[in-house]
Chain A
Amino acid sequence: MNVRLSALAALLVSLGGSACSARARHTITLSGSTSLQPLAEKWAEAYQALHPGLAFAVQGGGSTAGVQAALSGAAQIGLSSRALTATELHGVRAIPVARDGIALVVHPSNPLGDLSLGAVRGIYSGEIPNWERLGGPSKPITVITREEGSGTRAAFEGLVMGKQAIRASALVQDSTGAVRQMVSSDPAAIGYISIGLVDASVKALRLSGVAATEANIDRGAYPLVRPFLFAVHGQPNAQTLGFIAWVSGPEGRQLARREGMLPAGVEGPDASR
């Protein structure tokens, strides 16, 4: 009995020890937008594999908190999933690292292929309750939205809804996957998801004739785009600069694409877009 207990104790001690010994030298802290956080974690993981001497701390908290963290020095890099305000741009520099187009998706059997932004707003506010008004079949529209606090929802509200509220009877799903699943199983449904995650189970609508494609986003023709930015304050140290350069380079861009997002625009440090 004693032997077993002490073996267990030894095991526990060794586990604890190994966890403590994994201490790294230089830490880069990224903090902010929860929409950008998963991608930032992937970037950090991949970059750390190349530079074992570095350690990363990636935290959430929201875009505003992220910019504040960069400003106060609590984080080397603030993560923002919205364009920075003029006041914020006084204190920090914005480096576009990725973009996310938001596609409106319906069931593949839906005869509609094109909607105006005004019609989308009408659907989500509840003014247009039936597909018939838009030239579709006579069926009540099943409106699907994301939960409060979601970055995608905030971007959608900012880009489409303006001051109008999303109707209370809209179904709420807590992930892109859940929205897509629900749209793909309900012929009368409409939802919004990242362009990178549109697949054959749903149909992405054109907005006033413009298809939700990367080319159209690059041209600036597709209206539902939000930028993902790194916010840095002052002159970042060499390690941070190296990381930012890698993220903006081919490997970082490829990783962004694999995570279902679009890389930042090809050229031009168009910081505020």
Chain B
Amino acid sequence: MRLADKTVERTLGLLALSSILVLLSITFFIFKEGAPFVFRVGFANFFSTEWHPTAGRYGISYMIVGTAAVTAGALAFGVPLGVACAVVLGEMAGQRTRELLKPAIEILAGIPSVVFGFIGISVVLPWIRLYLGGPGASGLAGALILGVMILPTIIAISLDALRAVPRSYRDASLAMGATEWQTIWRVVLPAARSGILAAVILGVGRAVGETMAVVMVTGNAVQLPLSPLEPLRTLTANLALEMAYASGDHRAALFATGIVLFVVIVGLNTVAALVRSRLARPASRARRARSRAITTTETEQIQPAVTP
């Protein structure tokens, strides 16, 4: 029995290590495939605005702009909605509302992105085309779809942050005669701001990394999007679109695009982790630990991983 225990322990340990190994080998692989290419064609070519890989032009600037634009748009929709939803869930809602809302958000997190893309194509694109003009496939469509897709991330982590605010803050505020809304707006939200900031950053990571839905609704034209109604291409879309037929330098250029994405995502996740680690003030640390112990499991169910 002791031997069996040891075996199981060793095996599980090895399996746990293998996840790190997988991460390392993925990192190594994209850099090995993409980095030599970037140095060979030069940064001037790689960060130019012209993307014609079959003619030796590998500029990805407009795609960086495209990713930034769609992400900013997604935040404009997703952050106010997500934080408001977290406030309702954490501060206002009664037991029954909460029981209705939480599973709904969990389901939202579980919907595959291709389904979001399909809804985008069949509902959002015709709507934009009809009422706002343009081809429909546009940065706006991408921002709308992504805004909904980042909601579960933002809600879950904002909720976590709100719950970490000690009960005593609220009690004190209410005891001084503040209304419930004043308490939320002046006391609870400011106290939770670094956690909410972390939620936003992880939302950014999710938006930057999302691929399928974006490919389906943004039109993928490599151009500077001068209006929200114009099509644009994101970095992830570039990889997904062209990987099938790419070979040689074209393929290496796509790996190099992957490196840019990888660096952005790792950077965002690191910043989010740093921000979260100083979530609340030292005075409330014990409280926080206790409230987190209760809420972590719920959060993890909702919160999807941020992947590049």
Contact = CB atoms under 8 A, between A and B. Distances in A.
Interface of A: 1-2, 5, 34, 60-62, 65, 140, 142, 147-151, 154, 165, 168-174, 178, 181-182, 185-186, 188-189
Interface stretch (B18-26, B122-130, B174-182): B122-130
Given A171-B220, A185-B121, A1 B242 contact: no
Contact of A148 (B7, B54, B137): B54
Contacts, number: 82
A56 B224 CA distance: 45
Contacts of A148: 51-54, 242, 250
B231 interface: yes
B245 A169 contact: no
Interface residue tally of chain B, by bracket? 35 or more
B136 interface: yes
B90 interface: no
22 contacts: A2-B7, A5-B7, A34-B245, A62-B245, A62-B247, A147-B220, A148-B53, A149-B53, A149-B247, A165-B52, A168-B222, A169-B231, A170-B221, A171-B219, A172-B241, A174-B215, A174-B240, A174-B242, A174-B244, A182-B121, A182-B137, A186-B135
Interface of B: 4, 7-8, 11, 51-54, 121-122, 125-126, 129, 134-137, 215-216, 219-223, 230-231, 233, 240-242, 244-247, 250
Contacts of A150: 245
B242 A149 contact: yes
Nearest to B136: A186
Contacts of A173: 220
The 8 closest A-B pairs by CB, nearest first: A149-B245, A172-B220, A171-B219, A142-B135, A168-B223, A174-B241, A147-B241, A1-B4
| A interface secondary structure, majority | mixed
Contacts of B137: 171, 182
